[in-house]
Amino acid sequence: MFRQESETSPILRAGPWRRVRLGLSGKLLILTVVFVTLAELAIFVPSLANFRLAWLSDRIAAARTAALVLEAAPEAAVPPELARQILDSVGAQLVVVKREDTRRLLAMSDMPPAIDQHVDLRDAPFWRTVPDAFETLFAGRNRTLRVVAAAPRDGDFLEIVLSERPLHDAMVKFAATIFLISFLISASAGLLIYFSLHALFVRPMRRLTERMSAYREAPEDASRILIPSGRDDEIGIAEDALAELQRGLSQTLAQKTHLAALGLAVSKINHDLRNLLASVQLISDRLATIQDPAVQRFAPKLLAALDRAITYCEQTLSYGRAQEPLPERRDVVLAELVEEVRDTLGIPPDGSIGWVATLDRALTVDVDPDQLFRVLLNLSRNAMQALAARAPNAAERDQIRIGARRRGAVVEIEVSDTGPGIPAAHRDQLFSAFRASARRGGTGLGLPIADELVRAHGGEIRLIDGTIGATFLITIPDRPAELRRRGQRARA
């Protein structure tokens, strides 16, 4: 069994029988012709009705003049030949005037045929004249009309009987003339409107579409970014927005390319780096056997630092490619972790950069100690680099400050410095990879890594405005009691 291709099959879509779709220009041209034609029809219909009324009114006016002449003449004083000529000038077959209770036949040609339609011009609303005009135009040419109008010299009414053929012929000629004029006006107006809208809208939209298609084919090519035309209307705003979007996307793609190259480089050196660190760890183990007090004091810290370094290598040392493991949380004494961060940074008590830790020594926080250590280390290292940039330093002026407090089930940690602070231009993308660093040579990964680790704990890290230097507030909630008990059982 062979599967039958549907109408939307790619084969049929690519074949010669694919449905031709109108573009924006074609749709605009069709709509322009349709709307202009409708506007001309709105003019043509009442014009045709008015022409019919005017034609009948002219016949009635001529009949009134003839009636005045025939009424002024004595009876039987008007020869039949003259009466026939008068009727021919009026275009009627019969002229009758009614005064009070009498109807006077003023003139009559041969015996008129039966009446096909009655037209009363004394009461002719516009809504009735339109269908009557089309009925005259399409009903035929052999009908006979009885037309009634106001009589001269205070008569009741004047009526004439006439053939509809002359009226039909005149209306056909008028309709043809109006149609030709309407067609010329519609074509001229349509072309003017079409070319105007094409120049104002269609061509710029086509340019936008072409530039978008070209950019889609090679978004990494900066030469394909749209160059705005400088218009100050909505299309100009759309061009500016599209150009800005394309520039941002190109920069993001370039950064992703750099990130991929960085990941490839890290994957190549990761194995050798782990071997080197393992060798250093073996040497550190031998140092731990030396009984010298200074060595015994620093050896555990050295071993802990090497363990963390090897762990980071195993996680590929890449923010873009490595997925951070879930935190293994337990109660940690925060003061000890903060002191370990200070030792790792190598800030001595009597150094040129001050270290101020204001927190309860008994304060514990429910976290993964390695991950919180990385968060505090990244923030403190950034602060130390910001302070070192304005050397020479003085401990009284240049300080790194860490404070903490517990608010119910939430622990708040503040890491601040007295440096120059973070420029306003970098605050919107503070936690975006490769964009947060305001320091020349920085990777821009410290804050994004810290943000990711804090969010893995269900917490939040944010910059506090209006402080001296830069102040980051970290909030980490405790786990619910049931989850804490499960974690303790799992570790047991």
Residue range 154-206, pLDDT digits in tens:
667 788 888 888 888 888 898 888 888 877 877 787 788 778 877 888 788 88
179, 241: one domain: no
- Write out the residue range of the structural domain in which residue 423 sits: 326-491
Residue 196: what pLDDT? 82
389, 484: one domain: yes
Question: What is the pLDDT averaged over residues 66-73?
Answer: 71
| Distance between CA atoms of residues 358 and 363, nearest Å | 11
Question: What residue has token string 């218009």?
Answer: 231
Residue 291 lies in a domain: no
331, 480: one domain: yes
The pLDDT-based confidence of 230 (bands split at 50, 70, 90) is confident
The pLDDT-based confidence of 364 (bands split at 50, 70, 90) is very high
41, 168: one domain: yes
Residue 12 lies in a domain: no
Residue 372 lies in a domain: yes
Residue 95 lies in a domain: yes
171, 258: one domain: no
CB 443 within 8 A of CB 435: no
Between 8-17, 220-229, 272-281, 444-453, the lowest mean confidence (pLDDT) is in: 8-17
Dihedral of the CA atoms 71, 76, 81, 87 (nearest 10)? 30
385, 444: one domain: yes
Question: What residue has token string 């100009």?
Answer: 236
229, 365: one domain: no
77, 180: one domain: yes
Q: Is the pLDDT score of 294 beyond 50?
A: yes
Residue 349 lies in a domain: yes
100, 150: one domain: yes
More confident of the two residues 335 and 445: 335
Question: What is the Cβ-side half-sphere exposure of residue 232, based on CA atoms within 13 angstroms?
Answer: 0
28, 172: one domain: yes
127, 256: one domain: no
Domain final residue, candidates 141, 173, 188: 188
Render pLDDT for 81-126 as a digit per residue (tens, 0 to 9).
776 777 777 777 777 777 766 666 666 666 667 787 888 887 777 7
Residue 192: what pLDDT? 82
Residue 134 lies in a domain: yes
249, 395: one domain: no
Residue 239 lies in a domain: yes
CB 474 within 8 A of CB 454: yes
Domain final residue, candidates 210, 243, 264: 264
**What total of structural domains would you count in the chain?**
3
More confident of the two residues 330 and 250: 330
Residue 399 φ/ψ region, left for φ over 0, alpha for ψ in the -120 to 50 degree band, beta for the rest? beta
CATH number for the domain harbouring residue 456: 3.30.565.10
Q: Is the pLDDT score of 247 beyond 60?
A: yes
Residue 320 lies in a domain: no
